Amino acid sequence: MSKLPLRAKSYRILRPYMENQAGEWPSRLFDTCLIVLILANAIAMMLETVPDIAHRWGTALGIFDTLSVTIFTIEYITRVWCCVENPETKHAEKSLFKQRLHYMLSPMAIVDLIAILPFYLGMFINLDLRVLRILRLTRLIKLGRYSHSIQLLWQVLRNESRTLFAAMSVLVIIMTFAATGIYYLEREQQPEVFGSIPNAMWWALVTLTTLGYGDVIPVTPMGKVFSGLVTLLGVTLYALPAGILSSSFTAQLHIRRERFRALVNDAMADGYLTDNDYHHIEKIRELLYLDKEEAELIVQLLKHRQDGHSEPTDDDSLG
C-alpha cells in the first residue's frame, strides 16, 4: 500500500490512539510512554525550583531534561517526516515538502517545536533562562493530543471565544466602575490601598471574582453599602460565562445528535441495518463523542419507524 513501509509504520504508531480504533498495541504503548514522559517532565520542572531538591538532585534532573528533549526531538522529526502518510492529505497534489511545511504550521506541531526549541537556543545564544524555563511548560500542552474531552472543551472555548471575550470586557468595564466608586469613597480612610484607581482595581478584582483575600476591605459605611451593591451585581454577571459555556455545550451535543440521526437514517435507507452498518454507526458515535445510551435510543426510534409504524402520530422527534 505504501512505497516506504517504515514511514507508513511510523505514522501508524505516532498518530494518536483515538484515531486508530482498532487499537494496535505499539501505538497504544507509544502513547502511554509519551504521556508518562510529559507528566514526569512537568513534575521535574516543578521540583527543580525547590532549593533543597535542586541542590541534591540537580544533576539528575539536568540529565533527565536532556534525555526528554532528545526523545521529543526524535518524536518531532519523525512526525514531520511521516506526516505525508496522513490519508486525508496523502493523495493531494501537493509535493512532499509542501505537505510537511503545512503540517509544521499546524498548532500541535508548533507546540511540539516550542517544547524543544528553548533547549537548543539556550545552548547557542545567551538568553534569559527564566523565559526558557516557562516555555518548557508548553510540553504539558502536548497532552491535548491524547484526550477526546480536552479537544471538545477546546472547541467549545474556541466557538464561544467571541462571546466570552465580550463577557470578559463587560466584567472589566464593571470592574473599572467599581474601582472608581470605591476610590472616591475610601481614599481618605485608607489612602495606602485605595489611593488611586489602579490600586482600587485590585480590590475590585478580588471582590467581583468572589475571591475575597481580605487584604483590602472597605471600612466606611458608604464604602460597604457600595461594595454590597457591586457584589450583588457582580454575582449575576459572573453567571454569564457559565451560561454561555453551558448553552454552547448543549448546542454542540444537539448538533452532534442531529448529525448522528441523519447518518443512521441514511444507513437505513435500504430498510434494515446490516452488521456492517452497525459497525459504521458505532464508529460515527465515537467520532461525535455521543453517549452510548443516547445513541441506542436514536437507533431504536428510527428502526421503530421503519417497521411500518409510519403513521403521522408516531413521530418521536428527539429534538
Interface positions, 267-306, toward its own copies (CB under 8 A): 291, 293-294, 297, 301, 304-306
Instruction: State how far the Cα of 145 lies from the Cα of 111, in Å rounded to an integer.
Output: 11
CB 82 within 8 A of CB 11: yes
Nearer to its own copies, 128 or 275 (CB): 128
Shortest distance, position 33 Cβ to its own copies, whole Å: 18
Contact call for residue 212 and its own copies (CB under 8 A):
yes
Give the contact letters, 77-106, x = binds to its own copies (CB under 8 A), - = no: ------------------------------
Q: Which of residues 101-140 bind its own copies (CB under 8 A)?
A: 130, 133-134, 137, 140
Q: Binding its own copies by CB under 8 A: which of 67, 173, 272, 274? A: 173
CA angle 145, 150, 152 (to 5 degrees): 110
Contact call for residue 201 and its own copies (CB under 8 A):
yes
Question: What radius of gyration, in Å, describes the C-alpha atoms of the chain?
Answer: 28
- Which H, E and C letters describe 87-136, residue by residue? HHHHCCCCCHHHHHHHHHCCHHHHHHHHHHHHHHHHHHCCCCHHHHHHHH
Give the contact letters, 218-257, x = binds to its own copies (CB under 8 A), - = no: ------x--xx--xx--xx-xxxxxxxxxxxxxx-x-x--
Q: Binding its own copies by CB under 8 A: which of 73, 86, 180, 220? A: 180
Q: Which of residues 153-172 bind its own copies (CB under 8 A)?
A: 153, 159, 162-172
Shortest distance, position 30 Cβ to its own copies, whole Å: 20
Shortest distance, position 83 Cβ to its own copies, whole Å: 26
Contact call for residue 188 and its own copies (CB under 8 A):
no
Contact call for residue 61 and its own copies (CB under 8 A):
no
Contacts of 306 by beta carbon, 8 Å cutoff, 6+ apart: 268, 271, 272
Scanning 21-29, 59-67, 112-120, 192-200 for contacts with its own copies by CB under 8 A, the matching segment is 192-200
Q: Which of residues 26-55 bind its own copies (CB under 8 A)?
A: 42, 45-47, 49-51
Nearer to its own copies, 19 or 315 (CB): 315
